[in-house]
Amino acid sequence: MEKWIMGDKFSEIYPHKGSIKNLWELKWKFACQKSVYPFHDGAYEDFEPIFRKLIAENINDGYSAAYTNAFAPTALALEKKADEALSKGDSEKASEFYRRAAVVYRISRFPYVSPFDGKDSAKRAAYERQKEVYLKAASIWKPPIKEVIIEHKHRAEKDGATIPILVRIPEGANSSNPVPVVLIMTGLDGYRTDNSQRSHEIVRRGWACVICEIPGTADSPADPADPESPDRLWDSVFDYMSSRPEFDMRNVAAWGLSAGGFYAIRAASTHRDRLIGSIAHGPGCHYFLDEGWLAKVDNHEYPFALTPAMVRKFGFKNVDEMKKEGQKKFSLIETGIAQRPSCRLLLLNGVDDGLVPIEDCLILFNHGSYKEGRFFENLPHMGYPDSLPVAYEWLEGLFPKNDELNLKN
């Protein structure tokens, strides 16, 4: 495509690119102070000295071990404070420090962890530590978040054997009072340990929450190079969910985040009999793999280069191979998935998204079942913060009210 809706911004090199100093001072410092993406539940006092150290040492490559390792002392100090608070019986303070340590590890293993990273990978090591401290924090919450390892019943030869998920169920949910469920499909860099705020909002509304990582990321067992591996993944996840008497399987919605939005679109068709609705939030479907788009995407709002993570996430050998083969292999338009009937599907994004073109939402209105959408002018990828209230409002309209659920049950 010669022209994109984002206009002249498509050809710009955003000012934070290639400089940890600019990334911190122009972008992440503000996000950290406001505790917004990707610093949810973090503390500015934890991060400011880390980034000063990174700037002083001129460490600019977020993919490097040097970047990741710079965060470890702060995270370990927070863990120690948490352990001390727990030994004194102050579980609330312990949870706070464990949570903060988890956020520090989260930023340190940014931007990407592959399922195939070995034990010698600094990113993998940081993620393993993040999971450990996060679950310590979340086990104290009311209601708690619990990790469940389920069998991948529908696996193919190159899929892994088990699927790790996080489950959070509101108090009072049981076989006599099953509740609606939101299945969160995570993103390229945001994993199952990075959705605390969403889980808070979901259980507060009386719904259960299941969080699962998408193919090619973190601990997902799904073959990243196989376009059909997500279908097998969700088959196994839904089979497990059906075994939980607390879940009302008549009222299940998917919510795909960023790269997960691609899978929310796909599942809306491939699993429309299992879903009452699906939210694709910041999704790609076709043009995000366009060769012309990929030529400039590393220059936009993503904190570091985006294509190295995308290459590994989709199982390609290099960027050139992804540019040549990606769209034909994975596009939901090219493969005909988007033309199939679907459950209700809400598309959300910012019009100025420089990671996934807004064209990927718009093209879907001409394919398959009718779609719903809300797009936010002058906002980048995901359309934060304006898009979040829309997502919750849509889910509230999708699920029956509590009194209606009680009448049904």
pLDDT(408) > 50: no
Average pLDDT over residues 64-73: 98
**Which residue intervals of the chain bear CATH 1.20.1440?**
15-140
Residues 168-204 have pLDDT tens digits of 999 999 999 999 999 999 999 999 999 999 999 999 9
Let me know: does 86 contact 96? Beta carbons within 8 Å: no
**Phi, psi torsion values for 282, nearest 5 degrees:** 75, 45
Measure the CA–CA gap between 337 and 174, rounded to whole angstroms: 36
The per-residue pLDDT for range 25-49, each reduced to its tens digit, is: 999 999 999 999 999 999 999 999 9
Active-site choice (46, 194, 352, 353): 353
Residue 229 bears catalytic tag: no
Mean pLDDT of 103-109: 98
Beta bridge partners of 373: 347
Structure tokens of 18?
A: 């290639």
Answer yes or no: is pLDDT of 367 > 70: yes
pLDDT for 409 beyond 50 = no
> What letter does residue 24 receive in the DSSP assignment?
I
Give mean pLDDT, residues 131-139.
98
- Cβ-based neighbour number of residue 403 at 10 Å: 8
Q: Give residue-wise pLDDT tens across range 197-248.
A: 999 999 999 999 999 999 999 999 999 999 999 999 999 999 999 999 999 9
Tokens coding 153: 């019943």
Is the domain spanning 15-140 CATH 1.20.1440? The answer is: yes
- The CATH 3.40.50.1820 portion of the chain extends over 146-409
Which residue is catalytic, options 16, 152, 367, 381?
A: 381
Q: If you average pLDDT over residues 379-395, what whole number do you get?
A: 97
The active-site residue, picked from 236, 258, 269, 278, is 258
Task: Please calculate the CA angle 96-102-104 and round it to the nearest 5 degrees.
Answer: 105
Homologous superfamily (CATH) for 146-409: Alpha/Beta hydrolase fold, catalytic domain (3.40.50.1820)
Confidence at residue 403, expressed as pLDDT on a 0 to 100 scale: 55
381 is catalytic: yes
pLDDT digits (tens, 9 = 90+) for 272-326: 999 999 999 999 999 999 999 999 999 999 999 999 999 999 999 999 999 999 9
